[in-house]
């Protein structure tokens, strides 16, 4: 029976991330519209968009290979698995042992790889430029992410997310500069990875600056739905990752029972809302930067991660 219960909880987690992801995207859009005094579409608009896309016919370019057709499913699957591994409302899930931060980064990295390949596959110039820029951002964001993981792993003594969250909940953490530095660096990486405003703006089709949009220009129908859903999942993944590492309050512990899980889910939804609110505020307050300033931005994130690791050696704990 225990196994069935555990699997149910894990299934709830997988379903929850999938169901909430478009809502989060819609919520951020709605907030951004309100902040600039516009009405904005309903928060449920992303669901409608996805359903509409799923019903539509797929239009393929003549020279699209099998890779072009397979890539959306691979991207979606990798992102969904990664999002389902991050502890959102409970730490002691069945697959917690595999919820390793490095594994999650690898999953996201392979999703990015396929997206870039798909962008190149059709052979349009936009796809090429998008893939090239995406790889530029990726090669800079990943080292920064790895440095953040090193810092956190050195503090918590493990790269497993569940263990890390448990450690962050315990009073042993204390006040550390390294944690603050890695939080800021993680937010910067999350902004770059999710193609949010200072780095990229997926809401426009401006060829001077677009990165993510340029790669998916050729997609239509259900393929586009998969990619859009994967993008929403990725945004949610990063917010829940930040929440799980730096604000792990309300996470249900191992074998907490139904009540603890319900509280965990409520906390998770509140955390997502707060994350979305902060993101919307940040995005309306800041201007988009030039593409060639992105390396500096991510270089700063890498520097913060590195500094965090260095400062760990000064603090008393290590």
Partner 1 sequence: MGTLSFDVAHLLAGGLVLVSFMMLYQDRLYALLNVFALHAVVLALSVAWQAYVQHAPHLYVTAAIALLFKGMVIPFALHRMVIRLGIHREIETVVGVGMTMLAGMGLVALSMVVMLRVTPTADPLAREDLAFALSVLLLGLLIMVTRRNAVSQVVGFMSLENGLVLAATGAKGMPLVVEISVAFSILIAFIVIGIFLFRIRERFDTVDIGALDDFRGERR
User: Would you count residue 273 as binding partner 1 (CB under 8 A)?
Assistant: no
Distance CA 4, CA 8 (A): 6
Q: How far is the CB of 211 from partner 1 (least distance, A)?
A: 20
- Identify which of 106, 82, 93, 253 has the alpha carbon closest to the alpha carbon of residue 169: 253
C-beta of 315: minimal distance to partner 1 in Å?
6
Among 206, 266, 313, 318, binds partner 1 (CB under 8 A): 313
CB 41 within 8 A of CB 30: yes
Residue 260 lies near partner 1 (rule: CB under 8 A): no
- Give the interface segment with partner 1, choosing from 66-74, 210-218, 245-253, 308-316 (CB under 8 A): 308-316
User: Residues with Cβ < 8 Å from 266, sequence gap 6 or more?
Assistant: 250
Kindly tell me which residue out of 92, 180, 198, 250 binds partner 1, with binding defined by CB under 8 A. 180
Cα 150 to the chain's mean position, in Å?
19
Q: How far is the CB of 194 from partner 1 (least distance, A)?
A: 22
Give whole-number Cα distances, 156 to 170, 184, 318, in Å.
Answer: 10, 18, 11
What are the tokens at 233?
């999942």
Q: Please check whether residue 80 is in contact with residue 130, taking contact to mean a CB–CB distance below 8 angstroms.
A: no
Task: Assess contact for 178 and 245: CB atoms under 8 A.
Answer: no
Is residue 307 involved in binding partner 1 (CB under 8 A)? yes
* 24 binds partner 1, rule: CB under 8 A: no
b/e map of 195-229 (b: 16 or more CB within 10 Å)? bbbbbbbbeeeeeebbbbbbbbbbbbbbbbbbbbb
Interaction between residue 37 and partner 1 (CB under 8 A): no
Residues that bind partner 1 (rule: CB under 8 A) add up to a total of 21
Smallest distance, Å, CB 46 to partner 1?
36
CB of 176 to partner 1, least distance (A): 7
CB of 182 to partner 1, least distance (A): 12
Q: Is 143 in the site for partner 1 (CB under 8 A)?
A: no
**271/205 Cα distance (integer angstroms):** 31
Contact status: 176 vs partner 1 (CB under 8 A): yes
Round to whole Å and give the CA distance between 127 and 215. Answer: 5
Closest distance between partner 1 and the C-beta of residue 177, in Å?
3
- CA 197, 308, 241 angle in degrees (round to 5)? 50
Give the x/- contact pattern for partner 1 in 274-303, rule: CB under 8 A: ---------------------xx--xx--x
Judged by CB under 8 A, the stretch of 50-58, 103-111, 170-178, 268-276 that binds partner 1 is: 170-178
- Summarize as ranges the residues that interact with partner 1 (CB under 8 A): 174-178, 180-181, 295-296, 299-300, 303-304, 306-307, 310-311, 313-316
């Amino acid at each position: 029976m225990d196994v069935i219960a555990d699997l149910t909880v894990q299934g709830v987690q997988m379903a929850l991330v999938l169901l909430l992801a478009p809502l989060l995207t819609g919520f951020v859009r709605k907030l951004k519209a309100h902040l600039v005094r516009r009405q904005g579409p309903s928060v449920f608009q992303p669901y409608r968009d996805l359903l509409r896309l799923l019903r539509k016919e797929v239009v393929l370019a003549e020279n699209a290979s099998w890779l072009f057709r397979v890539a959306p499913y691979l991207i979606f699957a990798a992102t969904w698995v990664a999002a389902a591994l991050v502890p959102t409302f409970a730490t002691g899930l069945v697959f917690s042992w595999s919820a390793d931060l490095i594994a999650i980064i690898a999953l996201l990295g392979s999703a990015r790889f396929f997206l870039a390949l798909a962008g190149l596959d059709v052979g349009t110039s936009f796809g090429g430029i998008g893939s090239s820029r995406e790889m530029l951002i990726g090669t800079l964001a990943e080292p920064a992410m790895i440095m953040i993981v090193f810092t956190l792993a050195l503090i918590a003594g493990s790269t497993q997310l569940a263990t890390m969250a448990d450690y962050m909940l315990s009073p042993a953490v204390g006040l550390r500069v390294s944690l603050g530095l890695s939080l800021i660096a993680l937010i910067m990486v999350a902004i770059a990875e999710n193609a949010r405003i200072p780095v990229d703006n997926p809401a426009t089709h401006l060829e001077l600056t677009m990165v993510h949009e340029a790669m998916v220009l050729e997609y239509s129908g259900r393929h586009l739905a998969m990619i859009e859903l994967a993008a929403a999942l990725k945004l949610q993944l990063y917010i829940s990752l930040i929440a799980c590492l730096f604000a792990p309050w309300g996470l249900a512990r191992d074998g907490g029972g139904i009540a603890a899980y319900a509280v965990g889910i409520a906390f998770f939804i509140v955390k997502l809302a707060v994350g979305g609110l902060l993101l919307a505020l940040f995005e309306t307050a800041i201007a988009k930067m030039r593409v060639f300033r992105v390396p500096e931005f991510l270089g700063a994130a890498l520097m913060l991660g590195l500094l965090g690791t260095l400062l760990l050696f000064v603090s008393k704990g290590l």
